[in-house]
Amino acid sequence: MMSLPLSEEIQKYTVPWLQLDWPIDWPQIFDRPGDLVLEIGFGNGHFLSDMATARPDACFVGIERAWGSMRRLFRRLNALKLNHVRAIEGDAAFLLQHVFAPQSLSEIWINFSDPWPKERHHNRRLIQDTFVKILAERLKSGGEVTIATDHADYATWITDILTRQSDLQSIYATPSVHQLPGRTPTKYEQKAIDAGVPIHYFVWRRKSELSVETRIQKVGKMPNIVLEGAYQREDILTLIEQATDQVWRENHRDMQVVIKMTDIYCQLPDNHGLISVLVREGELAQYFGISLLFRKNDQLLVKLAPMGQPRPTWGVKKAVQKVADLILETHPHLWLASSTVGL
């Protein structure tokens, strides 16, 4: 089968999660019900596509951070004519918490995530206490998580974390086993097996129902602010240019929010301003633009630019507010005429 253009692959196989309400309505995405199965870190997509081929009635979602892996999965899905698989690009811990509802997943598979062997990097390991807590909450009662690793120290780390939580229990008499009957190994896994490296398989099951509130996060309106009064365009552009590389740190709902203006550009032919901005809210980082539109009748519009297609989160709205506040603080003849920021 001929491969699809990249634009069609993205439209067909990915989920535009930043533009959707959270948690995502997965039956609507797949246009049918079915057991929801998640693989975190699907690599070349072989394991995920094999599961989907064997189980046409289930709905499969894969999370990856590398676009090369996404492309390889797209080609595999297209060749196998698999229409019940979707991929999401992003941070697994953040996505698991926000786009999947509590008690919505039947299975979670985590194959050979990075062991980060150096002690100073252990905080980068995927398997952490908070991650496992969220994972357990997202599993249905009786749902299972399967974790595979060939790294002995990481296996000990995983064992310690799993055994000190109370919502999951091993389906075996031991925390992990060295063989899983009927399992099709990944490419990496087969190399480890051929080299005689022991594989540690953890299969843990949700014990019972958990009472977890589902927090609905609707996609909000795009924030914009209108300022009115006398100003000089060049003065405002100079002000913003001087503020680039400035970092603001805020706390919102026990989460650190970092806002940084990284650069400013003059947009021709209208000589409007475009500010490039980074906002990091916990594990979610968004790079986007804020436009400064210099209008007639002494109006200045501060709004999100199409660049980056950001989700209007609290941090993104705060960034728009920060730009407007910076201008108002230094231009006493300007005042706030209207705002849709809504903080």
Residues 145, 178 contacting (CB under 8 angstroms): no
Structure tokens at 298: 């002494």
Write out the H or E segment, with its range, that includes residue 108. Answer: strand 105-111
Distance CA 250, CA 229 (A): 29
For residue 11, what are its two tokens? 């439209």
Q: Torsion angle of alpha carbons 28, 29, 35, 37, nearest 10°?
A: -150
Is 91 catalytic? The answer is no
- In this structure, what token pair is assigned to residue 265? 């550009």
SS3 303: strand
Sign of torsion over alpha carbons 174, 176, 177, 181: positive
Strand pairing partners for 145?
A: 108, 204
Which helix (H) or strand (E) covers residue 86, if one does?
strand 85-89
Q: Which of 114, 129, 160, 235 is catalytic?
A: 114
Number of neighbouring beta carbons within 10 Å of residue 222: 15
- What does the DSSP 8-state code read for residue 18? G
> Of 84, 95, 67, nearest to 13 (Cα)?
84
- How far is it, in rounded angstroms, from Cα 266 to Cα 126? 41
Active site residues: 114
